[in-house]
A and B are shown apart, each in its own frame.
Chain A
């Protein structure tokens, strides 16, 4: 629960101002609210140590804290059970060490993804990940939300790219795990624990990533068909010896496309384009339209009120998942759109009435659960998210997850209520 007015009156904000510098502590505005829950103050510490001190202060003052990076995905998760202070990593934005010959980078959590990529590109490298809104999103934010895009079929998701982490815990501990070598099994893998933890265990202040070379050449193709037909083509491509770096299915009312991207040498790409056309048989490819590899971002971009979900199914169920979305949408007279990667993870968008969206969400979730999949409601009107767990029904590991939360954040200081099962 949010701190009571009684607690708030006893909070000594000047103490926090002393820790972070008074010019870096300001009253919150309406724009700082998370899913309608308004914090009191926003603090922007300038160092990892100051952030840890600020967090310890907030914890001992009984406040509820929401860590924030670029703020692009603040609405993900359940509405917070309380939020008094936003702890921003905006000033922790440096690339500390790009060891290009070792293909690793040490970066502060508040560094924007696009800024990081710009630095890495100077040596022909990149963090092989294409998350949402890289111009605004920060390293800490993409880690906490486990964001990914089309590159993950080849390079994996963040869990496969992060090799070291430093986190601040509510008691002020600054702890690291991993290091700056790619191969390392010393101790527990806290990188993976914190990736996708939505800031509920601690605040990520620094990360170390392994890097990949930027591709020499790149070419994309698109095929048209029904989602079911394209799912079959996708499986045939997966079962072939092609080494594509992107393979995604896009579907909406009445149309569907399969996009495939090849990166590598000119000779390699040419040979593979020939092979993929053989696999596709009579279905002819056209060059992939511009912007096709940011379609997962496009799905968010519209003024209309919409429910955006993240779903995950097995690759062979992509067509069936599209059918489930379409069926739920049709029943509720909603428009729909899906962009899903061949690994089985994708986004779906539904537009229409709030009641329709809510019913459709529950229908789609049931349908996906029957095929072993999951669906999380990420963005949507507050009434749609209210009264249900946006993450879906908890698994038998829920009690264990609760015990982990209790060990790291025993008083529920960080993002209370926002994670699975109300963690």
Chain B
């Protein structure tokens, strides 16, 4: 990078805020998905919105691509640097700016840790609902980029449900306010568009969040089944009975073994484990918990426990939240996938995963947000064995194709990022992708903000979208658009 530009950057963020040494840069060469690594030209650590604006203005003038980064815990390579560009780390913008309890709003900078929001308001009986498993380390800015979910989004919604407003530096360096503290701000729902756009539309420098009152009672039921199919039937039974649990999680035997080995969550050794969390008024939770237990028994549960104390409940969740990392004890390496299927497709998709896993000869551990059909298959492999990494990648890809075929999605909460962009063309038709690109072109016509992510092909914003022609498969009645 030219010295004059580096000098300009240094003048904006100060010497301690600019990293250019290769050794230090390597910290930023990947995010939580370590299979992709690119060294950026420089990393900048601004401490204010004004500094972010100043940096982005330079980038815009010089046509330097930039990638915003929070804590770097993303699992799809969304924060992967670009070789001829810079990384803008928001880690130093980590202040909680305002807590407004009566209106249930919190205003934060993007570098604030997810869990810190809850910790700040917990003494007053509130919590911040989106709870990705990485909540102790992931940042709100990263959550906004990825539209992060978590176990409790079945009832409470995703990041997008809880972000009312954003301050955003657009890719040309201008500052805009999307949404507000109040709901239904006149105009297009741009916070809705920005949340989940994976850093491709600009950089959020402030977020107005909604917090939620902690329920009167929280109970977790743990049920052991012989198979994930039996556990899946119980999930359908619970939903059919008209209940909306705060969370329904499922783990298969391999995932249970891993979690046990890592954190001794005291899970029963079974083929399919279900965690069902109910919350609300005490008499209601009591009644419904009995119904959940009944459904589970009917579906073949041979052990049912209800975690009574907060400590017991915390331990149950520790096992689930540690599951990804714990799988590292079973194999030297693994790929975690993030497919979504309609809940009713679970038995079919599970048996297909088992078949594919046997065919390829690689083990797959399964952790599901079962209530909303979000699967996290963990493909285990040994990166020292020639051919295994490729085979694992291929198997993970086949699982995503299963999800698409079942009418689902290639990602429920991890994002498309670098990893899954080629699958976008399998999930969506060309006109769908071209239409999404219209949004990108309105925000970032020069393709500077996290370029070449999410979409299989970059799009030139001068291009005109084509007119829809039905796909031959549609004409043949083989495929249907929805």
Contact = CB atoms under 8 A, between A and B. Distances in A.
A159 interface: yes
A200 to B, nearest CB: 9
Interface string B145-169: 0110100011001101100000000
A81 interface: no
Contacts of B435: 167, 169, 173, 175, 177, 190
Interface residues of A, number: 95
A76 to B, nearest CB: 11
Nearest to B153: A183
B409 interface: yes
Contacts of A391: 186-187
A158 to B, nearest CB: 10
Interface stretch (B20-28, B221-229, B262-270, B276-284): B276-284
A106 B342 CA distance: 13
B407 A181 contact: yes
Contacts of A219: none
B192 A193 contact: yes
Interface stretch (B48-56, B85-93, B328-336, B463-471): B463-471
Nearest to B104: A238
Given A183-B158, A193-B193, A312-B182, A172 B468 contact: yes
B186 A193 contact: no
Given A101-B236, A181-B340, A193-B192, A406 B442 contact: yes
A166 B482 CA distance: 7
Contacts of B319: none
Nearest to A403: B442
A180 B442 contact: no
Contacts of B432: 175-177, 187
A172 to B, nearest CB: 4
A316 B182 contact: no
Contact of B242 (A104, A184, A213, A267): A213
Contacts of A214: 242
Nearest to B241: A213
B239 A181 contact: no
Interface in A163-199: 164, 166-167, 169, 171-177, 179-193, 195-197
A241 B213 contact: yes
Interface stretch (A111-119, A133-141, A268-276): A268-276
B186 A420 contact: yes
16 contacts: A160-B157, A173-B466, A176-B482, A179-B407, A181-B372, A183-B412, A189-B193, A193-B188, A268-B283, A312-B182, A345-B184, A392-B186, A395-B186, A395-B187, A400-B443, A420-B187
Interface of B: 100-105, 125, 146-147, 149, 153-154, 157-158, 160-161, 170, 175-178, 180-190, 192-193, 195-197, 213-216, 236, 239-240, 242-244, 280-284, 286-288, 340-344, 369, 372-374, 407-416, 420, 424, 427-429, 431-436, 438-443, 454, 464-468, 470, 481-482
Given A177-B428, A187-B454, A401-B187, 16 more contacts: A99-B342, A101-B343, A102-B342, A160-B161, A173-B467, A182-B372, A185-B196, A185-B415, A189-B147, A190-B439, A193-B439, A195-B189, A196-B189, A239-B213, A315-B103, A374-B185
Interface of A: 49, 52, 56, 99, 101-104, 106, 124, 146, 156-157, 159-160, 164, 166-167, 169, 171-177, 179-193, 195-197, 201, 206, 208, 212-214, 216, 235, 238-243, 264-265, 267-268, 270-272, 275, 310, 312-316, 343-345, 372-374, 376, 391-392, 394-398, 400-401, 403-404, 406-408, 419-420
